[in-house]
Amino acid sequence: METVLKRKIKVGISECCFGSKVRYNGKGFDYVKNFGREKEQFIFYPLCPECLAGLGVPRTPISIKGGSGEDVLQGTAKIKNRKGEEVTDKLIKACEFSLELLKSEGIYIYMYKEGSPSCGVYRTTLKDKRLGNPPGIFGAMLLNEGFFLVCADDLESPIKRWDIVRRVNAFTWIKEAEIENINQLYEVWHIVKFLCQELDEKTSRSLGHELSILDNIQKEDIEKYRKTILEIIRKPSTLKKIKGWMWKNYSYYRKNKGIELDIVKEPTDLRSNTILAEELIKLEIKLYGEGYSFGSSPILNRAKR
């Protein structure tokens, strides 16, 4: 099975994270610049639900009253601006329109701005140490639709960015992989199982065990297993796990080739997260060039730049 994606991946993004000055206060952020040349792997679809709702820039800030964004969708909470004016219907329509747009383009990855009552997922206020009423309205819709969600603030950290890119690649590949029979399912699992074990060891072990005793499989079962694998890949890793698994991969390579690489320092050597991310990427490229699959980032993207 081909494990290299050769086309750009479509991702939706909160417009204020794409450099557009569309926030309530007329400001914006450019998180995409953090990708550097890696940016070429993606096609971005910036959307601002609050602008599409006709609230304008600058605008009076809004907040959720009486519950979360999910409650707004259920009709038990409202959205009001600081002047007390209700904008619930306008905002729901704009969020529905935004979602339709993403779906019609076959997009299932979204980079969101945390802390917004519209796009926020785990916080709907920008005030430190307060969560507000998460998720926001658009955040709730994206969660309900099973989107792969990336907090745009995480793109500023090299190591989190590396984790995001490898999971986005694997997620896209699995979502689109042709799996018609049990052998293809095994093949897909074999390719992504080390990444899955890093992200959620317990679920991966039990899934691996379930798959090993299967003797026949229906189309619905294939989709059920695909969904479980996608759920695992949505989960971010931690620095500790990343370091541990990188060392496992490297040790495997060293044992099999009998070669030491000076691009990777000993695990006990102190280094910044930026250096660690650089080591990971160099290792990944080198192993790939030599025909080895790097278990922690099994799917690469080589879209034309």
Site string for ligand SF4, 36-55 (x = CB under 6 A): ------------xxx-----
- Nearest-angstrom CA–CA distance, 147 and 234: 9
**Angle of CA points 160, 161, 167, to nearest 5°:** 90
Q: Where are the alpha helices (DSSP H) in 200-272?
A: 201-212, 219-234, 239-257
262: three-class secondary structure by DSSP: coil
Shorter beta-carbon distance to ligand SF4: residue 49 or 132: 49
CB of 289 to ligand SF4, least distance (A): 39
Q: Minimum CB separation from ligand SF4 for residue 126, in Å?
A: 10
Question: Which amino acid belongs to residue 166?
Answer: R
For the chain, the residue count is 305
**Residues 236/160, Cβ–Cβ less than 8 Å:** yes
Distance of CA 190 to the CA centre of its chain: 22
Min. distance of Cβ 47 from ligand SF4 in angstroms?
A: 7
Considering the complex, what minimum distance in angstroms separates the CB of residue 183 from ligand SF4? 44
- Confirm or reject binding of residue 125 to ligand SF4 (CB under 6 A): no
- If one asks whether residue 22 binds ligand SF4 (CB under 6 A), the answer comes out as yes
According to the binding rule CB under 6 A, does residue 14 interact with ligand SF4?
yes
According to DSSP, residue 7 is labeled S
Please report whether residue 118 would count as binding ligand SF4 according to CB under 6 A.
yes
The least CB distance from residue 119 to ligand SF4, in Å, is 3
**Choice between 63 and 273, CB closer to ligand SF4:** 63
* Interacting residues of 273 by C-beta distance below 8 A, sequence separation 6+: 157, 158, 159, 239
From residue 86 to residue 115, what is the string marking binding to ligand SF4 with x (rule CB under 6 A)? ---------------------------x--
Helix H, strand E, coil C: the string for 142-174 is HHHCCCEEEEHHHHHCHHHHHHHHHHHHHHHHH
Nearer to ligand SF4 by Cβ, of 93 and 226: the residue is 93
- Minimum distance between the CB of residue 236 and ligand SF4, rounded to whole angstroms? 20
Q: Which of 119, 141, 170, 207 binds ligand SF4 (CB under 6 A)?
A: 119
Q: Taking CB under 6 A as the rule, does residue 140 contact ligand SF4?
A: no
The answer to whether the CB of 55 falls within 8 A of the CB of 86 is no
Start-to-end CA distance of the chain, whole Å, equals: 23
Residues that bind ligand SF4 (CB under 6 A): 14-16, 22-23, 48-50, 113, 116, 118-119
